[in-house]
Structure 1
Amino acid sequence: MAFATIQYFSRSLSKASAFNVIFPDDPAIPRPWSTFYLLHGLSDDHTIWARRTSLERYVSGLPLVVVMPDGGRGWYTNAAEGYAYEDDLTKDVLGLVERTFPVKAERAGRAIGGLSMGGYGAVKLGLKHHETFASVNSHSGALAFLRTDPAENKKLSPEFERIFGKEPKGGPEDPFAILEGIDHGRIPALRIDCGTEDFLIQHNRDFHKFLEDRHVPHEYEEFPGNHNWEYWDKHIQEAIAFHARNLKLKP
């Protein structure tokens, strides 16, 4: 596999930004390739997945481009006051990738996933843009972030109110509310996992129950582990296998 950092000007952010990308370098791997947009957490950036996991080795031989964008501390959301990180990913990054690489510019060729803030972002964007993504996964996602105590949320993310407004529960960035408005036949394939010692475990259990109560097909698993890279490096491998099945990838 090959690795590159793409520097670009984001029209949505009105500033320079960057993303890392892993892509096949073996001429025997057939084109066009599929894409996997992989999102980082609140305290990290676009370099972290490649630095802290063996991701490049895990996707070796697959007809897959892994795109790791920089979401800042913006929760992959067009802030009420601030940067438009949702538009940056779904318009600027996705558009540049599909103009630059020989990838499938269609729903059936796109997956999205992430951890923590990025797990929330992947589920939120995967549901909100369900005509764009076919396969979605979340590790240790802050999936019920908009439904918990705002005062506690501001301790974790001081940007909370500036990004989401004062009453985000049930609004356009709430994965629970977004799912209610989608025809079940168009919901992407969903996989959610979390460590049993993770401080976000209840977020994941609540969303899992919400999906079960509405008979939405999905994969949900809990494993021993905490909110750390030992857990994510291990379980990203299962997410890759999940997306490979849904995008019908063959080594």
Structure 2
Amino acid sequence: MMRVLLLSGMLMGLAFADPSHVELLSVKSAVLDRNMAVKVYLPPDYDDQQKYPVVYLLHPYGGDEKFWLGALDTREVMDRLIEQKKVRPFLVVSPNYDNSFAVNSREAIVGVNAGRYSDYLTQELVSFIDSKYSTVTSRDGRFIGGTSMGGYAALQLGLTHTELFSKIAAQSAALWDGKDDLYQDQRDWLYPNPETRSDRDPFKLITKVNLKALHFRIDVGKSDLLREVNEHFVRELREAGANIEFSEDKGDHDLAYWSSQLADFLTFFGKPE
């Protein structure tokens, strides 16, 4: 009977001895002075004798650690892409970082959290993941991406910490260029003065770093109200000579559009070399 079951599994295309799994962690943050929830996807046949790249994925406004590994079918899509050999196996880290835009801040406004979130993500969380799992600890094997608020956060963190990340993906990114800006209260909180804006605004940050050392993927829905500002950012990247993939497809600023892009989004990080 065992041989029959094994053969049946092979005929169904089950290529893995051990399935993928998702772990829910509680990470003690000294800079935030509390425990922070994190979900981690471990690929099928995870082996702590191998070194795996890591992708940090940041949720949109109102999301949490369950967005990428819950609201979106990231586990199922990753399993399929790995089995089809469209991506090499990698870890997905989905942290909660509240509605903070992943910056270090002292004062909150309504609907936005203040605290040392940038330090938590880039110092404490990266160090924790590298110590707990068998990861590639150089920037060549560490990537960052996100959606909406998380798209802004991925760009801001990735461009500020080029020593940590080599690939950056932003989806429906919350950006501001002074042309019919949306969410102006959040913009003014993020950019209270020119000096702070110079340190946080991805439009400014791309003028300060070696873009040749980075790979970008930007996508946005054709009906998204943030489409034009995302297009503007892509033009700026291209004019600066960045290595960038850009995609526009049918969709809005919503879960249906983000789900439709998930396979391509994940493939960007894990293309076989």
Mapped to 2, the partners of 1:27 and 1:125 lie a distance apart of: 28
Amino acid at match of 1:46: E
1:163 to partner: Cα distance = 4.7
Q: For 1:9, what is the secondary structure of its paired residue?
A: strand
Looking at structure 1, the residues matched to 251 and 196 of structure 2 have their Cα atoms a distance apart, in angstroms, of 29
Which residue of structure 1 lines up, in the alignment, with residue 142 of structure 2?
Answer: 110
Q: How big is the alpha-carbon RMSD for the aligned residues of Structure 1 and Structure 2?
A: 2.2
CA separation in 1, counterparts of 2:270 and 2:242?
21
Corresponding position of 1:234: 260
1:193 alignment counterpart: 219
Q: Are residue 206 (structure 1) and residue 235 (structure 2) matched?
A: no
CA distance in 2, matches of 1:183, 1:171: 16
* Structure having the higher Rg: 2
Distance 1:224 1:244, change over 3 A: same
Superposition deviation, residue 92 in structure 1: 1.2
Which digits, 9 at most, give the CA deviation of each residue in 1:63-103, with x for residues without a partner? 21100011101001111433011111101111100000001
Residue 165 of structure 1: how far off its partner (Å) = 2.5
Length-normalised TM-score, structure 2: 0.81
Instruction: Tell me how far apart the structure 1 counterparts of residues 41 and 68 of structure 2 sit (CA, whole Å).
Output: 11
1:140 and 1:185 map into 2 onto residues whose CA distance is: 23
Task: Check conservation: 2:190, 2:200, Cα contact below 8 A.
Answer: no
TM-score, scaled to structure 1: 0.88
Once the two structures are aligned, what percentage of the paired residues are identical?
26
Aligned residues: 241
* 1:73-112 aligned within 5 A: 73-81=99-107, 82-112=114-144
- The alignment partner of 1:131 has SS state of coil
For residue 56 of structure 1, what is the aligned residue in structure 2? 75
Q: Is the 8 A contact 2:212 2:243 kept in 1?
A: no
- Structure 1 residue 14, shift from structure 2 partner: 1.4
- Find the counterpart in structure 2 of residue 72 from structure 1: 98
User: What is the identity, as a one-letter code, of the residue corresponding to 2:135?
Assistant: V
Where structure 2 has 5 or more consecutive residues not aligned to the other structure, the ranges are 1-19, 83-87, 108-113
Q: Gaps spanning 5+ residues in structure 1: where?
A: none
Contact 1:196–1:223 (Cα < 8 Å) also in 2: yes
CA distance in 1, matches of 2:130, 2:182: 40
